[in-house]
Amino acid sequence: MYLEIITPDKRVFEGEVSSVSFPGTQGSFEVLNNHAPLISTLENGRIRVTSATGNQYFNVDGGVVEVLNNKIIVLAEAITE
């Protein structure tokens, strides 16, 4: 899967991943390869990105995530690593 994490200021992350865990407003959820199309709002919390190099964590201050055809786009209010 391909993941992009974008804030109003910059592109925070871009690359191939095997899974991503999100803090959704209706509860946390994880996206794996070939996930069904999805649009969800995010609350303040931690995004866990799993790739070939291991886990990476980003603290998100709200936003929106879209999953479509193995591409994930996160539009975040703000991100801290």
d(CA 69, CA 12): 21
Q: 24, 14, 10: which is closest to 49 by C-alpha?
A: 14
Would you state the pLDDT for residue 22? 98
Domain coordinates of the chain in residue numbers? 2-80
Would you state the pLDDT for residue 80? 84
- Which residues of the chain are modeled with pLDDT < 70? none
Q: Which residues contact 27 (CB under 8 A, 6 or more apart)?
A: none
CA atoms within a 13 Å half-sphere pointing along the CA-CB vector of 1 = 25
CATH of 2-80, one of 3.50.50.60, 2.120.10.30, 2.60.15.10, 3.40.50.2020: 2.60.15.10
Q: Which residues contact 14 (CB under 8 A, 6 or more apart)?
A: 3, 4, 5
Would you state the pLDDT for residue 18? 97
